[in-house]
Amino acid sequence: MLALPSTAETVGLMNAERFSRLKPGSHLINISRAALIDHDALKEQLDSGQIARASLDVVSPEPLPDEHWLYQHPSVQLSPHIAWNGPRSHERMSQAFLDNLRRWCAGGSLQGVIDTCVGY
């Protein structure tokens, strides 16, 4: 299962060489960023059976063209990348924003700040 940010170090992390190290018949699950996977290498590994299944919450390009192989492949399951959206998600986001606004107005430190140098 991949649950990593997309950074210079993780782009293409799952390539042909890494796929070949996995136990034959592995199930690849990506819930984070599409750039972590070399999709051409994934197709080769799925077709050969080295990877038995791929469950992808993210894809590249996004959106996929209508006839993209990921839609057709019998060993691929696609799901919408909307895990952030659940009961009270808008309320929680609004509360986080208002909390940070109060912190900023008071000269305090903000919560959940992204470090743009590392990408997350």
48 CB contacts (<8 Å, ≥6 apart)? none
Q: Which residues are the active-site residues? A: 33, 81
Give the strand pairing for 76-78 and 26-30.
Answer: unpaired
CA dist., res. 46 & res. 44, Å (int)? 6
Give the strand pairing for 26-30 and 51-56.
Answer: parallel
78 CB contacts (<8 Å, ≥6 apart)? 56, 57, 59, 70, 71
